[in-house]
Amino acid sequence: MASTSPESAAAATETDGSTQIRRLELADHERGFVALLSQLSSCPDLTPSEFAARFAELAAHGDDHVILVAEDPSAQERRILATGCLFVERKFLRGGGKVGHVEDVVVDAAARGKGLGLHIVRRLVEIAKEAGCYKVILDCTPELRAYYAKCGFVEKGVQMAVYF
C-alpha cells in the first residue's frame, strides 16, 4: 500500500486481515451502500438505474472523485461497512492549485470502534496528497474535532449553510 504505488489509484486494496478497502463499484448498490449512507444523513433509496446514473456521472470525474468503501471479504453476505469520499477542486489560487474535499464519511453502527473511518479518511488524505492537492478540508460537528485530529486535521473556521 505504498502511497506512491501506481496500483493504488487503480485497484487499491488494504487489508488488516478482516477488512478490505477499495473503490466503490456498481454492485455495491446491492451491498447496503445506500442504507449505510442513510446512517449519516437523509438518503432515500435509489433504484439500480438511479444509482448507476449517479455512479457514471461521478466515475466520469476519474481520480477527481474517489469513493472508498470498506467490507469484510470473508463475510458470508457481502456488506459495505464504511465509506468516505474525496473530490478534488481545481483553483486559480496557489498558482493553479488543487484542494481535496472529504465528504460523506460514515461507518456502519455495528462496525464502529475499529478504526475503519480513520483508515478510510487517512487513505483519502493520502490520495489527495498524491494528486498534488495543497490541502484537504472537510466540515464536521464540533464533537468530531478530536476524531479528525487523529488524521492530522486542525480546526479552521466555520461552515455557513443555506438550505433550499
Residue 6, interface with a copy of itself (CB under 8 A)?
no
- Determine if 163 is a binding residue for a copy of itself (CB under 8 A): yes
Q: How far is the CB of 24 from a copy of itself (least distance, A)?
A: 9
Residue 19 in contact with residue 81, Cβ under 8 Å? Answer: yes
* Segment interacting with a copy of itself, rule: CB under 8 A, options 4-12, 70-78, 91-99, 119-127: 91-99
Grid cell digits, residue 71: 467490507
CB within 8 Å of 129: residues ≥ 6 apart: 3, 100, 136
For residues 104 and 83, the answer to whether their CB atoms sit within 8 Å is: yes
Pair 150, 105: CB distance under 8 Å: no
* Closest-CA residue to 68 (of 1, 17, 3, 116): 116
Q: With binding defined as CB under 8 A, does residue 150 bind a copy of itself?
A: no
- The single-letter code of the amino acid at 9 is A
First-to-final CA distance of the chain: 42
Site string for a copy of itself, 38-67 (x = CB under 8 A): --xxxxxxx---xx-xx--xx---------
Which of residues 4, 49, 77, 92 is near a copy of itself by CB under 8 A?
Answer: 92
Nearer to a copy of itself, 87 or 129 (CB): 87
Write the interaction track for a copy of itself spanning residues 109-148; mark x where CB under 8 A is met and - where it is not.
----------------------------x-x-xx------
# binding residues, a copy of itself (CB under 8 A): 41
